Amino acid sequence: MPHRLLSHFFFALLFIAASASWTGTSAQFNSKPDARTGSVVTTPRVRAELVAHAPEGVGPGQPLWLGLQITHQPEWHTYWKNPGDSGLPTELAWTLPTGLTAGDIAWPVPHTIRIGTLANHGYEGTVLLPVPVQVGPDFKVPLAGNGTLDVRLRATWLVCRVECIPEEGDFALQLPVRGSTALHAAAFAQSQADQPLALAGTSQVQVQGERLQLRVRGLPAAARGQTLALFAETPEVLISAAVPGKDWTQAWDGDAWTADLPLSPQRGDTPERLPLVLALDQRPADRATPHAWRTVADVNGTWAAAARASVSPALAAALEANKTASPAPAAPSPSTPPLGTLLAALAGGLLGGLLLNLMPCVFPVLAIKVLGFAQHGSNRRAQRLAGAAYTGGVVLSFLALGGLLLGLRAAGEQLGWGFQLQSPAVVALLAALFTLIGLNLAGLFEFGQFVPGRLATLQARHPVGDAFLSGVLAVAIASPCTAPFMGASLGFAVGMPATQALAVFAALGVGMALPYLAASLVPAVVGWLPRPGPWMATFRHAMAFPMFATVVWLVWVLGQQSGIDGAGALLALLVAGSALVWSLTLRGRTRVVIASIFIAGGAWLAGAIGQNITKPVENAAQVASGTDSATNAWQPWSADRTAELMAAGQPVFVDFTAAWCVTCQYNKRTTLADSSVLADLAARKVALLRADWTRRDPAITAALAQLGRSGVPVYVLYAPGKAPLVLTEILSVAEVRQALAAL
């Protein structure tokens, strides 16, 4: 059928768009500069502004400061240079004119932010991160450009409340060369007052087993006798979550301040010197009064990495929670797995691929391929070639998706299997593609009407290429449907070396293509099919309805990502596109007039409401998981919430799900809605948390990686004092009740 080749061509364009747009379509992670000045970036969580302070203009020897001023929404915070138990420090990358050199951030004194059992160092409210700029002797005043300098900044920051969201912004500022730039003088003055002062006295660190004894001299008289807060500039030296007065103590010995602190079990080699910041625990009302000091202590003794068992249970829980709550660090180099593990992963991938053929999202594509068998009739050679080409398309597509996933992960992206459907733009393009295929199958049009005859007959002249592209399309729709055994295999794969990992992805493709390949090679299977005849037209028209059902599912998925406005915008554009396709089937002048009207109307509609498709909805996760209802027992998942419930001795059941995951929705409406399961959960006071992965979420991706999974669904039962129990992807009532009975 010629309709399939052009539909596959559209899909190829869509696949390229999905790969290219992954870093740009998740609008909740990115921001746009202020349209007027380019110096302000506003997100739902912060307002960030590039500011400057040049009291005497810009010239050699004259002071010049640049800075990023961040104003946080209530309860949100960003991080200091050592973020503590979780988080990442703000990073600034400058592009400055010749002769200007930016220094490091002059970090203001942070304060400790405790969330559950974690302790972070950072900022709330409004903070200015100043950067000194050196004006070199080679600096030349520009002769053009109205006497201004073009200053540009690329900034990245992690903003957290309970959940953490990475954000970024591009800033631009025109800085006058002559005259004072003192609009933000007060903010820079306050930031200067919040800088720790260098101590003239001596400081020493003595290592005693798993603890550190600190002695600091030279603190001013105003600080003596007062309680001090301590911040280590080097991460993972001290336990940030240690509670003053409980896990560590401090005292005054005359004019010397002493402290006894626990060392972090994650510490590295012993440094020769340890930079520390001390601050008054109670900040003075007059913020211009010195209240923080910096010292570099000489280290006496050596330390070795402590065993985790030597840490108190509360601190150990905090460190374990930190693994999930923090954005995952750069992955270590994967190690070669044992042969048994690799064979098990390959077998799991093969079986998971076979089970993918049972997923309802794959049915429309496979049904069309069955029609292709009938078309080949008794031409065994054509059937074998089609089977081999389809298998090649499936396997190579899985290899491409797997290679893309591994490559992006190696570059630091937090992705998981099925990531292509986390992009609203990709979901919308797939919905448009399947609408077009459905209209063609229903008989509204033939692709040969719109393209030159030579292109329209490509499918007939190149059936092997058509079968190959059918395999590509099948993978695009099937891959997010994680089947049993497939989740564990992919979890192993992402931690393997590239060669072994890609072998698992290839096994997955072979498993999915195996039924069709076997049918193409075994004549008895083909003999079961009826001979070509009028039934084929009826079958073709009937297949339009599974295509439209797939469109309904995709629109529903988009509604979970972008809200009712996004789903409505997509439906309106699909109707407009369908009307345009119909108008192109008309003849003569009527076709030109009506098609022109629909093209103009569709373009206006896309400009008016098209942005709603990719616009993020703040409560999309709650809408998707049903947590907006006060009577619903499910709560939004977070690593901190899980840790808090576990610390209180309450078991926790976590549902890692996504709107685009058909298996997830099946389990949600069957096993997880079963009255006996709900009764058992309530009787054992199990807290229910739902981690919605419909849109990209680095925290959920990191949590899945900790469990050895890279896709959804995943169901985990946590119980105090026990290892997490990961259940199978297709849940049964008996399995859940048996797991609950063991609590």
> Mind listing the pLDDT tens digit for each residue in 287-297?
778 889 999 98
**What's the angle, vertex CA 446, arms to CA 442 and CA 448, rounded to 5?**
165
- pLDDT, tens digit (0-9, with 9 covering 90-100), for 345-383: 677 778 777 776 666 556 556 655 555 555 555 566 777
Residue 713: is the preceding peptide bond cis (ω within 30°)?
yes
pLDDT of residue 624: 43
Burial of 675 per CB tally in 10 Å (0-12, 13-18, 19+): exposed
Q: Taking the model in full, what pTM does it have?
A: 0.43
Tell me, what amino acid is at 243? Answer: V
**Co-location of 202 and 317 in the same domain:** yes
Would 336 be classed as within a structural domain?
no
pLDDT of residue 90: 94
Would 541 be classed as within a structural domain?
yes
Angle between helices 463-478 and 380-410 (to 10 degrees): 40
pLDDT of residue 105: 94
**Co-location of 203 and 284 in the same domain:** yes
Would 475 be classed as within a structural domain?
yes
**Co-location of 360 and 461 in the same domain:** yes
pLDDT of residue 48: 94
Domain termination residue (choose one: 562, 584, 613): 613
Tokens of 552: 């309904």
Q: Which of 217, 309, 208, 203 is nearest to 265 (CA)?
A: 309
- What is the tally of structural domains in the chain? 4
pLDDT of residue 126: 93
Would 156 be classed as within a structural domain?
yes
Give per-residue burial for 301-327: e unless 16+ CB within 10 Å, then b. eebeebeeeebeeebbbbbbbbebbbb
Would 31 be classed as within a structural domain?
no
**Co-location of 725 and 685 in the same domain:** yes
pLDDT of residue 494: 54
SS3 158: strand
Cα atoms in the Cβ-side hemisphere of radius 13 Å centred on 156: 7
Find residue 144's DSSP bridge partners: none
Would 498 be classed as within a structural domain?
yes
Spell out the residues 6+ positions from residue 700 whose beta carbon is closer than 8 angstroms to its own.
637, 656, 691, 692, 693
**Co-location of 191 and 202 in the same domain:** no
Q: What is the CATH number of the domain that holds 71?
A: 2.60.40.1250
**Co-location of 212 and 258 in the same domain:** yes
**Co-location of 371 and 510 in the same domain:** yes
**Co-location of 543 and 411 in the same domain:** yes
**Co-location of 203 and 182 in the same domain:** no
Q: Which of 173, 174, 104 is nearest to 134 (CA)?
A: 104
pLDDT of residue 79: 93
Domain residues for 277? 198-323
pLDDT of residue 32: 38
Q: Which of 443, 529, 473 is nearest to 361 (CA)?
A: 473
Domain termination residue (choose one: 323, 351, 383): 323
Separation CA 672–CA 287 (nearest Å): 55
Would 23 be classed as within a structural domain?
no
Cα atoms in the Cβ-side hemisphere of radius 13 Å centred on 20: 6
Domain termination residue (choose one: 177, 195, 213): 195
* Backbone φ/ψ region at 57: left (φ over 0), alpha (ψ -120 to 50), beta: left
636, containing H or E segment:
strand 634-636
**Co-location of 223 and 189 in the same domain:** no
pLDDT of residue 422: 63
The edge-to-edge listing of strands for the beta sheet with 78-84 is: 78-84, 118-123, 111-115
**Terminal CA-to-CA distance of the chain, rounded, Å?**
57
Q: Using 50 as the pLDDT threshold, list the residues of the chain that sit under it.
A: 1-37, 305-335, 412-416, 451-460, 482-485, 487, 619-631
Q: What is the CATH number of the domain that holds 280?
A: 2.60.40
Separation CA 505–CA 511 (nearest Å): 10
Separation CA 714–CA 135 (nearest Å): 56
Provide φ and ψ at 424, rounded to 5°: -60, -35
Q: Which of 151, 38, 24, 129 is nearest to 79 (CA)?
A: 129
Q: What is the CA radius of gyration of the chain?
A: 31
Would 509 be classed as within a structural domain?
yes
User: CB neighbours (10 Å) of residue 27?
Assistant: 16
C-alpha distances in Å from residue 487, one per residue of 233, 481, 708: 40, 10, 8
**Co-location of 79 and 216 in the same domain:** no
Tokens of 126: 């409004």
**Co-location of 289 and 256 in the same domain:** yes
